[in-house]
Chain A
Amino acid sequence: MQADQSALQCNACGGLCYFSPERSALECLSCGECYDLGQPDDYLARDEFAHRPDVAEPEDNITPAQRTHQCQNCGGEVLFTGPALSAHCPYCNGPVVLVSGDAGYRTMALIPFRVDAAFAKRLAQKWAASRVACPAGLADVVAQGDVAGLYAPFWTFDSDEVVQYWANFVKPGGKAIRISSTKGQMKIAFDDMLMPASPHVTPLIRDGILHDFDPRDLKPYRAGYLAGFAAERHHQTVAEGIAANSADKDLLIRNHIKYKIDRTGVHGIRYLTDTSGIHYRRILLPVWILHYSYGGHAYKIAVSGIDGRTFGERPFARRRLALYSAAISACVIALGMAIGAAAAF
């Protein structure tokens, strides 16, 4: 880590450098000199690693880190590299304190930030302003929020599943509702399935803003890409990562089964799956998180550091919800009364 810090010094003036999303290069804070971090063998970052659950394999090197900060609020541990040393946790905006000896697994690759803080903030404001039934002036409140750049830890998993399933469905026709059962077998191939590698990275961040994750954009892990941003280290073993994301995988398999059955009212799904061909990567993905509070509640909006896609949490205006509810109620009541009046004759 000490070597990493010295690699962030400008060759021309000795000043400290940070990674500039605008220039896609390491930029000196003092003299503005830029350094390209690209290497001819960057394509190697796309490589995946095989995992066999039945064989006890040693995990990657566990590397100790300096300058790790722990949030006093949510417990998240983040690493600050280079000049950006925030006093707040990027996940929850809570205060952070310096802790020693944080150990994590080696990050294999990352996608560098392409969207800068100012643009991310504008996107968050635009997102908030476009919300249906949001309180008046929400965009102005969001404009006062703090935005923090974070490299969030993710897994990519590949796997081949042979699924044997049993399910019930509703059979239409006749006066009574009939329930039928079915069973079958199917193959599912999960390719580069993105999974959060930390309890602080919610599935909503993954599914809300990282739509266009492309493994071809991955770069090898270098401290220079992290300069100026916070990053969370990988703390999960592969088995822990698979276990932590099993609920999401279960939901996706059940949805595949529903589509495969393609009948009305599919329910009571049971299945057995034989998983093989597991491949993984430990990666970091760039996320801007904007924290704001409204009506005494804390909210956050996440902006993808790759392409600026935005999603987040927001409050609702009760009065506007009531207006929508009244309008729909009036339409349904008018239609219902018309049908009822017609049925009476």
Chain B
Amino acid sequence: MLAETSPLFAAAALFGLSTYFGLIPIHKLIQMHEARHELRQGSASRLRRAGGWVVVALWLLTVMWCAVFIGDWWASGDYQAASERAWQRIGILAKLAASAGGVR
């Protein structure tokens, strides 16, 4: 079904969905920013509030992955080939996510 639409339409749809689903990560991002700057360093509350970055990282990585696929599709004009390359990138993203899991 997606193959029948144009890449630019897909990009617009991605923008809308990302904006809608980005409300929670942005809320979390602001709370983390406030915790980082206003809560006592090394305190339990700061450690608890700083723990929500996974939501933000997941949102950004998902949007980035979709955008790279759309960019590939738009430039190559080949939906099938772009889609195959996108699945290959999933592995790279999984590794990135796993290594980011260790960031304190």
Measuring CB to CB, which residues of chain B are less than 8 angstroms from any residue of chain A? 11, 14-15, 18-20, 22-23, 25-27, 30, 33-34, 38-40, 42-48, 60, 63-76, 82, 85, 95, 98-99, 101-104
Does A258 count as interface, using CB distance less than 8 angstroms? yes
Residue A333 CB within 8 A of the other chain:
yes
Please report which residues of chain A, range 5-23, place their CB below 8 angstroms from some CB of chain B when the two chains form the complex: none
Give Cα A2–Cα B15 distance, bound, in whole angstroms: 69
Contact of B67 among A133, A252, A332 (CB under 8 A): A332
Known: A177-B95, A329-B22, A336-B71. 7 other contacts (CB 8 A): A170-B101, A208-B38, A252-B42, A329-B15, A340-B72, A340-B74, A345-B76
* Chain B residues whose C-beta falls within 8 Å of the C-beta of A169 in the assembled complex: 102
In Å, the complex CA distance between A224 and B77 comes to 80
Contacts of A185 in B (CB 8 A): none
**Nearest neighbor of B30 in chain A, beta-carbon distance:** A132
User: Which segment, of A54-62, A225-233, A260-268, faces chain B?
Assistant: A260-268
Q: How far is the CB of A81 from chain B (nearest CB, A)?
A: 29
A330 touches B44 (CB 8 A): no
Interface residues on A, range: 35 or more
With both chains docked as a complex, state the minimum distance between the C-beta of B7 and any C-beta of chain A, in angstroms.
8
Please encode chain A, from 297 to 330, with 1 for each CB lying within 8 Å of some chain B CB and 0 for all others: 0000000000000010000101001101110111
> In the complex, A324 Cα to B20 Cα: how many Å?
11
Contact between B70 and A316 (Cβ–Cβ < 8 Å)?
no
Closest chain A residue to B64 by CB distance?
A336
Return the contact of B70 from the options A255, A325, A337 (Cβ within 8 A). A337
Q: Which residue of B lies closest to A256 (CB)?
A: B42
Q: Say yes or no for A341: interface residue by CB 8 A criterion.
A: yes
* A contact residues around B69 at 8 Å (CB): 340
How many angstroms from the CA of A59 to the CA of B81 in the assembled complex? 75
Asked whether A341 and B71 contact (CB < 8 A) given A133-B30, A251-B47, A316-B27, the answer is: yes
Hey, which bits of chain A sit against chain B, CB under 8 A?
131-133, 169-170, 172, 177, 203-204, 206-208, 210-211, 247-248, 251-252, 255, 258-259, 263-267, 311, 316, 318, 321-322, 324-326, 328-330, 332-345
Set B48, B60, B73, B95: member contacting A332, Cβ < 8 A: B60
The listed residue (B26, B48, B67) touching A337 by CB distance below 8 A is B67
A126, B13: Cα distance in complex, Å: 39
Cα A132 to Cα B34 with chains together (Å):
9
Q: Determine if A206 and B45 form an interchain contact, defined as CB atoms under 8 angstroms apart.
A: yes
Interfacial chain A residues near B74, Cβ < 8 Å: 337, 340-341
Cα distance, A311 to B18, chains bound together (Å): 31
Q: Of all chain B residues, which has the CB nearest A263?
A: B102
Given the complex, which residues of B lie within 8 Å of A321, measured CB to CB?
23, 26-27
Residue pairs across A and B with Cβ atoms less than 8 A apart, 10 shown, are A172-B99, A203-B45, A247-B44, A265-B98, A328-B60, A333-B14, A333-B63, A336-B70, A340-B74, A344-B71
